[in-house]
Amino acid sequence: MSDSTPLAVCFGEGLVALVAAAAGPLEDCRTFHRSLAGAEWNTAIALASAGIRTSVVSRVGDDGFGRFLTAELRAHGVDDSAVEIDDEAPTGLYVKELTTRADGAVDGTMHYYRAGSAAAAMSPETLASPTAAALLAEAALVHTSGITPALSPSTLAAQEALYAERRPDRLLSFDLNWRPALWRGREAEGRRIVSDFASRADIVFCTRSDAEAVFGTSDAQELRALFPGPRHLLVTDSGGAVAFDGSESAASDALDAPVVETIGAGDAFAAGYLAGVLTGLSLTGSLARGHRIATRALASTRDHVD
């Protein structure tokens, strides 16, 4: 990949996913398949698959799971040089329990084991490391989500530091990714925090269900009125997307494709749209690219595209 292509930096937690080999209650599952997960890391892999130079800024434990995650990034063409190694805290993980629906598709339920993870210790100092600072200085786009500020006070401070250092030549992308379990007991604070990040981003992604839970509406026009600042606003559901680029808007249907499981499809869609923006595609062209890459995440129980 040429160094002349735009650089995207994804900031957030990588997780190891242990995915049940067969549908059924966890207590009945004997075999699990290991894979990479984490919203921003999924997006990074999909961006790289779309031909965008991509780096991840994060932290993992000095353990086998951490080494697996960074090796997976490299295998998918993502730069892991700004992923710090923590010699005390472990790499976070989750277990995915599978349930088969009547239509044959599979629903995944995540059980997280991430408290006290190495990524929860991300801080403004993580961004200030020589490697991370150099990447962020070069980046044409930085992608974040509503998950990172929920992990700890230091991760919130780090994401705030990213947003405080605005540059006219660097886009800030924010995927709402509302995770109520991470905000349990402080939901009002969480809604305020993620709303603030959304209002200050250049590109905002949200599903209709997350928007309803956080903003009280899933109507695309109402959401645009609530968030007039971001140039790009994407409102998505399983049937398609409504997108705004300044005063322009467009609606598009999801592609007809086999669905094995939906987790990770939103990250892949975001990556496709961002790749379109970075390479100068039109609004409809960026939407089409998002939908095409999303179909690749729908085709397996992994969270990321191949």
Q: What is the distance of C-alpha 150 from the center of its chain?
A: 14
Q: What is the pLDDT of residue 257?
A: 58
Helix, strand, or coil (residue 244): strand
Interstrand relation of 32-37 and 15-20 (parallel, antiparallel or unpaired): antiparallel
Is residue 74 a part of any domain in this protein? Answer: yes
204, 208, 202, 275: which is closest to 234 by C-alpha?
204
**Are the C-beta atoms of 54 and 82 separated by less than 8 Å?**
no
Is residue 232 a part of any domain in this protein? Answer: yes
Structure-token pair, residue 169: 């030549």
Is residue 26 a part of any domain in this protein? Answer: no
Is residue 30 a part of any domain in this protein? Answer: no
Dihedral sign for Cα 178, 181, 186, 187, please: positive
Is residue 136 a part of any domain in this protein? Answer: yes
Is residue 102 a part of any domain in this protein? Answer: no
Active site residue 245: no
17 membership: H or E segment, kind and range: strand 15-20
Interstrand relation of 93-100 and 106-113 (parallel, antiparallel or unpaired): antiparallel
Q: What is the pLDDT of residue 121?
A: 97
Q: Which residue ranges in the chain fall short of pLDDT 50?
A: 258-262, 298, 301-303
Structural domain of residue 75, as residue ranges? Answer: 7-12+39-86+120-298
101, 57, 60, 64: which is closest to 82 by C-alpha?
57
Structure-token pair, residue 281: 């595609």
Is residue 21 a part of any domain in this protein? Answer: no
* Residues forming a β-bridge with 236: 207, 241
The domain that contains 294 carries what CATH number? 3.40.1190.20
The domain tally of the chain equals 1
Record the pTM.
Answer: 0.91
Catalytic residue among 80, 86, 175, 267: 267
Beta-carbon neighbour count of residue 274 at 10 Å? 30
Q: What is the pLDDT of residue 166?
A: 85
**Are the C-beta atoms of 92 and 121 separated by less than 8 Å?**
no
Is residue 254 a part of any domain in this protein? Answer: yes
Interstrand relation of 7-11 and 141-145 (parallel, antiparallel or unpaired): parallel
Task: Report the distance separating Cα 288 and Cα 232, nearest Å.
Answer: 15
Residue type, 16: V
Residue type, 132: A
